[in-house]
């Protein structure tokens, strides 16, 4: 099964993300409604017999709740050839701290992710995007909505023709 650990978004942030997505070109594959989140660690394909070990490792994570705000849009790998359109969060440091704690808890189960960058994915780009579309994306107005990171959730992700469907499998509160 395909698994990842993430912070769920508040309803207000989720609504704003949907409004941003609605402004994107039809050529860009928008993330399905309800699938938005702030990924902390993507675990990839995982054998079912590893799930209990992941849940046990999650219980060892001692992290505090923190506050985040949405920031500007950006793209991976860059604006010249965007493949993923995303919204950043500020401050990044508490997210990075949580990610390091997750990495430490899962060190015996999964390789370390050295390329982590806190973000909320808006869309994936399948084809080449013209510069007019890139300009539109860059100019999207992201409201600096504040939300609390209150829990860490283990999700399973099932890929479908219309996008990924996520199911919560376990969660821990951030204290």
**Residue 77 in this model has a pLDDT that exceeds 90:** yes
Question: Which tens digit of pLDDT belongs to each residue from 48-71?
Answer: 999 999 999 999 999 999 999 999
Mean pLDDT along residues 136-158: 94
Is the CB of residue 86 less than 8 Å from the CB of residue 75?
Answer: yes
Confidence of residue 33 (pLDDT cuts 50, 70, 90): low
Q: Using the Cα atoms of residue 59, residue 63, residue 69 and residue 75 in order, give the sign of their dihedral.
A: negative
**Residue 168 in this model has a pLDDT that exceeds 80:** yes
What is the DSSP-derived secondary structure letter of residue 27?
Answer: T
Q: Which helix (H) or strand (E) holds 12?
A: helix 11-22
Alpha-carbon distance 170 to 168, whole Å?
6
Mean pLDDT along residues 139-149: 95
Question: Which tens digit of pLDDT belongs to each residue from 84-134?
Answer: 999 999 999 999 999 999 999 999 999 999 999 999 999 888 888 888 888
- pLDDT value of position 24: 84
- pLDDT value of position 34: 64
Supply 85's token pair: 């359109």
Average pLDDT, the chain: 92
Alpha-carbon distance 98 to 175, whole Å?
12
Percent of all residues in the chain with a pLDDT value above 70, rounded to a whole number: 96
Q: Domains in the chain, start-ordered, CATH in brackets?
A: 2-173 (3.90.1140.10)
20-29, 48-57, 131-140: segment of lowest average pLDDT: 20-29
Instruction: Name the more confident of 175 and 34.
Output: 175
CA 77 from centre of chain: 16
Phi, psi of 102 (to 5 degrees): -65, -45
**Residue 32 in this model has a pLDDT that exceeds 80:** no
What is the DSSP-derived secondary structure letter of residue 11?
Answer: H
């Amino acid at each position: 099964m395909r698994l990842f650990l993430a912070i769920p978004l508040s309803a207000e942030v989720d609504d704003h993300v949907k409004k941003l997505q609605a402004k994107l070109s039809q050529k860009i594959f928008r993330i399905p409604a309800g699938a938005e989140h702030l990924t902390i660690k993507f675990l990839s394909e995982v054998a079912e017999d590893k799930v209990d070990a992941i849940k046990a490792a999650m219980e060892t994570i001692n992290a505090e709740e923190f506050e985040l705000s949405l920031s500007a849009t950006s793209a991976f790998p860059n604006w010249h050839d965007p493949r993923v359109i995303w919204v950043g969060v500020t401050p990044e440091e508490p997210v990075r701290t949580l990610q390091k704690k997750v990495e430490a808890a899962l060190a015996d189960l999964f390789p370390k992710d050295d390329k982590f960058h806190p973000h909320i994915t808006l869309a994936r780009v399948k084809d080449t995007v013209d510069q007019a579309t890139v300009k539109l994306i860059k100019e999207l107005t992201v409201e600096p909505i504040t939300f609390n990171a209150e829990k860490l959730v283990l999700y399973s992700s099932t890929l479908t023709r219309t996008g990924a469907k996520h199911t919560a499998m376990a969660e821990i509160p951030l204290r």
